[in-house]
Structure formats: C-alpha cells, structure tokens
Amino acid sequence: MLPTADLLADAKVDAVAWNGTSASWLGIERDRSLCEAISARTGKPATTSTLACIDAVRSSGAQRVGFVTPYTDDVQLRIGKVWASDGIACHAERHLGLRDNFSFGEVKPAEIADMIRAVAAEGCDAIVILCTNMDGAAITEALERELNVLILDSVAVTLWRTLLLAKADPRLLSGWGRVFQSPLP
C-alpha cells in the first residue's frame, strides 16, 4: 500500500485515505501504524475507514454505539472486542454471517435499513455501518431523520475525515448524514 500512497502523493493530494475496515477485527494499531507510515513517506495526513469511524463516534459523544455489518459471528465478536479495547463498547449489533467481499456488495439497502432499525430499537445513540462494500451511505440521511439517531456509514465517514484532514469543510456536501453538517473542529 505504501507504493500506492507514493502515487497519490505525486498527484499533490492534501490527504490520503485507506477505505478498509479490517483493522476493526485485526487490531486498530494496524491502521494507526499504516497511517503513520503513509504520513512519514508522503508528508500527507492519512486515515482509514476504521479510524475515521472511531473519530466520528468520539467527536459525536455517543455512548451507546451499535454496529451493522455483513460479517460472520467470529468476525463480529472480534469487532466488539477490538473496539472495546479502544474505549468504544458495542451496545447492540446485527450482522449477516456473510464471508466474501462480493456478497457484502449484494446486500440490498432495504436489508441494511432493517438492520439499522433493529439496532436503533435497542437504544443506540450512534450506529456504525462497518463495511466499505455495503451500500449504506445512500440511506443514512433519511434513516437519521426517521430514527433520530446518528448513523455513520464507513465509506461516507472516511470521506468526512479525509476532508477534515485536507482542511476542507465537510458541510459543503449534503445528503450523506449529520456528520457532514458539523463545523470544522
């Protein structure tokens, strides 16, 4: 990935993002190390989907966090442990038991919405759609209005965090959820 970061830096980007969530079950330190290496190599700030989601949860002040994923039981269990070790406990979750990346992209937005509604019903004040191959971004804004809960799609939140790192105002974008409506810190 570091040679790819070199190519991006050659394009004079303001920030670099790795749109992946595997550190959520493999260990968040993996992504922190990756971002440090990218920044050291390119001189540009870097983030990942997992780190962006953690930043968004923390900046929101959410205490009861839910997770919606396509993953298997063992991966979902690891997500809960890894995030808890970073100070964010899982209050509620739904997962589909899927194993391959292609199937993650086949999950229909209506099914994702049903999972979000079920997690929200358990009293969450933030819900993370944790998978960069699930199409949750398009339904986030409407579900936030319906359920009055913050919904953080991992793809959209990666863009939000990357905009912040690039010193761009995320409020310029609309239709992707509440996280984009917060002023620059």
Residue among 163, 143, 145 at smallest CA distance from 153: 143
Spatial distance between the Cα atoms of 74 and 90, rounded to a whole number of angstroms = 15
For residue 46, is it left (φ>0), alpha (ψ between -120 and 50) or beta? beta
Question: Per residue in 20-77, pLDDT tens?
Answer: 999 999 999 999 999 999 999 999 999 999 999 999 999 999 999 999 999 999 999 9
* Mean residue pLDDT across the chain: 94
Tokens of 172: 């310029």
Using an 8 Å Cβ cutoff, are 98 and 70 in contact? yes
Question: Per residue in 6-29, pLDDT tens?
Answer: 777 788 899 999 999 999 999 999
Task: Give, in degrees to the nearest 5, the angle at Cα 3 between 132 and 40.
Answer: 90
Using an 8 Å Cβ cutoff, are 53 and 140 in contact? no
> How do the domains of the chain map onto residue ranges?
2-167
Please give the sequence-ordered ranges of beta strands (E in DSSP) within 126-172, or none if there are none. 126-129, 150-153
pTM: 0.94
Residues near 34 by beta carbon (within 8 Å), at least 6 away in sequence: 1, 18, 46, 48
CA atoms within 13 A of residue 3's CA, in its CB half-sphere: 0
Please say if the pLDDT value at position 185 is more than 60. Answer: no
Q: Could you tell me the fold of the domain covering 2-167? A: Rossmann fold (3.40.50)
Question: Per residue in 106-154, pLDDT tens?
Answer: 999 999 999 999 999 999 999 999 999 999 999 999 999 999 999 999 9
- pLDDT on residue 183: 62
Handedness of CA 48, 52, 58, 62 (dihedral sign): negative
Using an 8 Å Cβ cutoff, are 123 and 64 in contact? yes
Tokens 């394009």 belong to which residue?
Answer: 11
For residue 32, give the H/E element and its range.
Answer: helix 28-42
